[in-house]
Structure 1
Amino acid sequence: MKYLFATSNASKFNEISEIFNDIGLELEHCEIEIEELQSDSFEEIALHSARKAYEQLGKPVFVEDAGISVDSLEGFPGPFTKYVFYTIGIAGLLKLLEGVSDRKAEYTSVLAYTDGNQEKVFKGSCRGSIAREYRGDGGWGWDPVFIPEGEDFTFGENYSSKKEHSHRSKSARALADWLKTNG
């Protein structure tokens, strides 16, 4: 059985697909337009999007909402990460953090699944910090500036480590394990 992942982000699909493949599950990319709920809750956004995707597809589906939250910016950008990335980008975030010594941050991934009757939410997080400059050209999104806790590299410098450490790998493994038992 193939599981539907509704996302317009091919990089997200590739990351989660690789994790599913490792567990022996097939993933199908479903690119549909879903109006994103504006909220300060990753869970609320993901559940709303999963419901909307199910309405369009009429099949079991899951979606992801993810973002990076910087402690010294009181959790900003959080659920507004995509907007911030496409407006001020990494350079803008680094500018906001100029002169800031506390660069701790957390990547969060929330996967919401629905089959029309049952809804499940799977959350993964990865603590770390924001580098002072771009480091590495691997990965995508914030990877060149995110240093996982306990490491000295960014995901941009060591993209293969993302599969082990990342927020997305944790939420995807939890969903895949649940689907193997319940799907």
Structure 2
Amino acid sequence: MKYLIVGLGNIGPEYAKTRHNVGFMVADYLAKKHNTSFEMDRLAYVADFKHKGRSITVIKPTTYMNLSGKAVKYWANQLKIKTENILVIVDDLAIPYTSLRMRGKGGAAGHNGLKDIEAQMQTAAYPRLRFGIGDNYSKGKQVDFVLGEFTEDEKIDLDGLIEKSADMCLSFASIGLSRTMTQYNK
């Protein structure tokens, strides 16, 4: 069984610690936990490891957020991974901070990375892990909020949330979407 885990984010040090890059943060944690590292390859940084007999490839697209679908489509085709075995980790304004939700499908909800994946894959029926970042920003300041770093108060919970997200990714690959949602979604 092969799985593709996609951490969404933007490349470059100016984005590294921003809310929009939480997908990259989870991907980095997964690679570190499994003693592997990312190598630059076509359209993405790529890391591979085995977990409970499953082959897992983790990618961090280098296409920038708005063109993430290009990398997802390429790697899914390259590795011959079925859509239901792809998990996309994404930041979500509509979910309160500290909340994590896994879904088997859904809309893009205004998220340009998800919109592009949907367009490239020609379906919205792919699993995603939505990492709640909340919506604590003033009118007209959404971009600044999303591309801003987590506050000191938020950083208190951040490492634990990243670790739990990684656990959810591994659960997805080992016991499946339905059981993982039952176990983790609140």
TM-score higher than 0.5? no
TM-score, normalising length: structure 1: 0.36
TM-score, normalising length: structure 2: 0.35
